[in-house]
């Protein structure tokens, strides 16, 4: 059997502790599978004394990640600290510069510096593996980077944040408030250190930017993403969506269009009968539409210690199994010099259906006036309903809900702006884009 693969782990949070436990418990079976043992020889974390439920006493301890990456006797640097900046950034650069392979779950780091790091890996003959960075345990990176090579991809979209999906599912099923559901997601270890990253959509955007690069062969453009989180979604929206045959999901969507690539993250109405609408709780799903394969939908656990550790372990095992001196898979599926420039399609030119919920003062002619503004902007309606209660108090606002046929974002924005100018709206209108899967 070949000599052991020596790994150093930086970060012993939920994922790091799961990884250590699995590597220790399955040491022998992994050695058989990989043809060589995988030994943890170095670790670092913020707090040496914290009880993590795993034994790290026989492993060399380093006080900081950069020193570990620079000095430890290891073959692979496993980065599980998170964050786009230091220490993760400097530590990963130090490791790659030494020719060490790197395995990371850090989507923020890749979104910000992925191409630079991929270049460094290439020039030092090292692997940069990051399966756990997108959709937790689902092997979506491998699917796009390796399995779908040669396909022309037209759209990639999915539910890529377990916390948001957990919140939206729990709000719908249990009628609980947004805040109560978020607290529970944090307690269960799904949320980011700063949960604003989850609920404002940044975490999904980081993941989407990585998928976009893999799907379209372009440089990463994480700052060029249209972004809306779920903090604005109310039980009323969830209920109205259900009444109309839709469910609300936070989707990340990257789509090839005539004017460039659309990258957008926003709450989205998906048809109730679609498969993606059935993806509940912390589960993630990623759909890929391409010319040779057709539509591929991958569904699985997207967050949590074990699911994420499983993907990290797969990346480490790939390195353990690789032959010394073998040609490595480029981090983003093609050599860095072959990545194309990213050209953004503006959100104003997005085409699709829309859900629009308006609260209006209850007076004659309002309903007709709303319909007129839609027609003036050439927006064709699938439905328009006034949600009336049986006993309406005088002056109580009424709710009008519209679902449009395919139109453009520009037309919807113009129509909503002119409706706002009429003076009968109460509060802000709610506008949610509709996304239709190609098949089921
Ligand atoms: N906070 C992330 C989520 C963890 O909720 O999906 C996995 O990236």
* Residue 347 belongs to a domain: no
User: Are both 273 and 297 inside the same structural domain?
Assistant: yes
d(CA 382, CA 367): 15
How many other C-beta atoms are found inside a 10 Å radius of the C-beta of residue 124?
14
DSSP symbols for 296-365: EEEEEE-SSHHHHHHHHHHHHHHHHHSPTTPPPPPTTSS-GGGPBPP-BPPGGG-EEEEEEEEEE---TT
Residue 200 in contact with ligand 1 by CB distance below 6 A: no
SS3 label, residue 155: strand
pLDDT at 303: 86
- Asked if residue 188 and residue 77 are part of one domain, the reply reads no
Domain CATH code at residue 328:
3.40.50.720
Query: Are 281 and 196 contained in the same domain?
Result: yes
Q: What is the pLDDT of residue 191?
A: 86
Judge whether 348 lies within some domain.
no
Residue 289 belongs to domain spanning = 144-301
Residue 190 has a pLDDT of: 85
- Listed as ranges, residues in the chain with pLDDT below 50 are none
Structurally, the chain folds into a number of domains equal to 3
Residues 271 and 131 in one domain: no
Question: 160 and 37, same structural domain?
Answer: no
Tell how far the Cα of 224 is from the centroid of ligand 1, in angstroms: 21
pLDDT tens, residue by residue, 150-180:
999 999 999 999 999 999 999 999 988 899 9
Give the pLDDT of residue 391. 53
Residue 30 lies in a domain: yes
pLDDT for 405-424, tens place per residue? 999 999 999 999 999 999 99
Q: What is the pLDDT of residue 289?
A: 97
14, 120: one domain: yes
**pLDDT number for residue 389:** 55
Domain-located, residue 196: yes
- CB of 274 within 6 A of ligand 1: the answer is no
d(CA 130, ligand 1 centre) in Å: 14
User: Could you check whether the bond before residue 55 is cis, i.e. omega within 30 degrees of 0?
Assistant: no
With contact defined as beta carbons under 8 Å apart, do 110 and 210 qualify?
yes
Closest ligand 1 atom to 134 CA: 8
pLDDT of residue 38: 98
CATH number at residue 388: 3.30.70.260
**Coil, strand or helix: which one is 79?**
strand
Cα-to-centroid distance, 162 and ligand 1 (Å): 5
Are 152 and 294 contained in the same domain? yes
Cα distances from 154 to residues 5, 87, 260, 270, in angstroms, run 39, 36, 11, 19
Which whole-number Å values give the CA distances from 290 to 256, 268, 435, in the listed order? 11, 22, 17
CATH at 166: 3.30.360.10
DSSP label of 188: T
Is 363 part of any domain?
Answer: yes
- Exactly one of 207, 321, 414, 420 is catalytic; which is it? 207
Q: What is the pLDDT of residues 206-224, one digit of tens each?
A: 999 999 999 999 999 999 9
pLDDT, residue 273, reads 95
| Nearest atom of ligand 1 to the alpha carbon of 284 | 6
**For residues 217 and 378, is the Cβ–Cβ distance under 8 A?**
no
Nearest atom within ligand 1 for CA of residue 161:
6
Cβ atoms of residues 282 and 161 within 8 Å: no
**Same structural domain, 309 and 297:** no
423 and 282 in a common domain: no
Chain centroid, CA 236 distance in Å: 25
Query: pLDDT value at position 388?
Result: 60
439 belongs to a structural domain? no
Residue 152 and residue 126 share a domain: no
Which one of 109, 133, 166, 303 would you pick to mutate in the ligand 1 pocket, going by the greatest count of ligand atoms within 8 A of its CB?
303
Our CA angle for 289, 269, 436, nearest 5°, is 30
Ligand 1 probe mutation, 302, 305, 312, most atoms within 8 A of CB: 302
**Residue 15 Cβ contacting ligand 1 at under 6 Å:** no
Identify whether 440 is part of a domain: no
207 catalytic, yes or no? yes
Q: Which residue has the tokens 């050695």?
A: 31
Is the minimum distance from the CB of 14 to ligand 1 under 6 angstroms?
no
145 Cα–ligand 1 center, Å: 21
282 C-alpha to ligand 1 centroid (Å): 8
**Residues 160 and 297 both lie in one domain:** yes
In a domain, 346, yes or no: no
Residue to probe by mutation, ligand 1, list 163, 193, 202, 207, most atoms within 8 Å of CB: 163
Q: Are 60 and 111 in the same domain?
A: yes
- CB contact set of 379 (below 8 Å; sequence gap of 6+): 404, 405, 407, 411, 412, 415
Instruction: For residues 301 and 308, give the distance between their C-alpha atoms in angstroms, rounded to a whole number.
Output: 8
């Amino acid at each position: 059997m070949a000599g052991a693969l020596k790994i150093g782990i930086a970060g012993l949070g939920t994922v790091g502790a799961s990884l250590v436990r699995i590597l220790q418990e399955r040491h022998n079976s992994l050695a058989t599978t990989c043809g060589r043992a995988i030994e943890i020889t170095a670790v670092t974390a913020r707090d040496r004394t914290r009880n993590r439920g795993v034994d790290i006493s026989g492993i060399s301890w380093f006080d900081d990640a950069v020193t570990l990456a620079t000095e430890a006797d290891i073959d692979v640097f496993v980065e599980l600290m998170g964050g786009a900046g230091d220490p993760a950034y400097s530590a990963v650069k130090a490791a790659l510069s030494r020719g060490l392979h790197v395995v990371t779950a850090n989507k923020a780091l890749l979104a910000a510096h992925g191409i630079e790091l991929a270049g460094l890996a290439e020039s030092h003959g090292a692997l940069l593996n990051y399966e756990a960075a997108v959709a937790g345990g689902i092997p979506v990176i491998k699917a796009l980077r390796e399995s779908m090579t040669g396909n022309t991809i037209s759209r990639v979209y999915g539910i890529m944040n377990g916390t948001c999906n957990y919140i939206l599912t729990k709000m719908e099923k249990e009628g609980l408030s947004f805040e109560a559901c978020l607290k529970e997601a944090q307690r269960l270890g799904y949320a980011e250190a700063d949960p604003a990253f989850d609920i404002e959509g940044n975490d999904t955007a980081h993941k989407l930017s990585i998928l976009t690069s893999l799907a379209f062969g372009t440089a990463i453009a994480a700052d060029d993403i249209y972004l809306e989180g779920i903090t604005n979604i109310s039980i009323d929206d969830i209920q109205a969506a259900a009444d109309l045959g839709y469910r609300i999901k936070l989707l990340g969507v990257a789509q090839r269009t005539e004017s460039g690539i659309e990258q957008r993250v926003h709450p989205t109405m998906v048809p109730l009968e679609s498969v993606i609408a059935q993806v509940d709780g912390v589960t993630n799903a990623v759909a890929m539409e391409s010319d040779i394969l057709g539509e591929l939908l991958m569904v699985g656990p997207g967050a949590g210690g074990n699911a994420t550790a499983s993907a990290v372990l797969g990346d480490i095992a790939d390195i353990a199994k690789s032959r010394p001196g073998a040609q490595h898979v480029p981090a983003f599926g093609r050599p860095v010099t072959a990545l194309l420039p990213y050209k953004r399609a503006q959100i104003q030119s997005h085409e699709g259906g829309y859900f629009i919920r308006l609260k209006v003062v209850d007076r004659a002619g309002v309903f007709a006036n709303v319909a007129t503004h839609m027609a003036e902007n050439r927006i064709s309606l699938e439905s328009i309903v006034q949600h009336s209660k049986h006993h309406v108090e005088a002056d109580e606002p009424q709710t009008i809900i519209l679902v449009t046929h395919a139109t453009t974002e520009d037309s919807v924005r113009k129509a909503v702006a002119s409706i706002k100018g009429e003076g009968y709206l109460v509060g802000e209108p709610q506008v949610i884009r509709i996304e239709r899967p190609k098949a089921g």
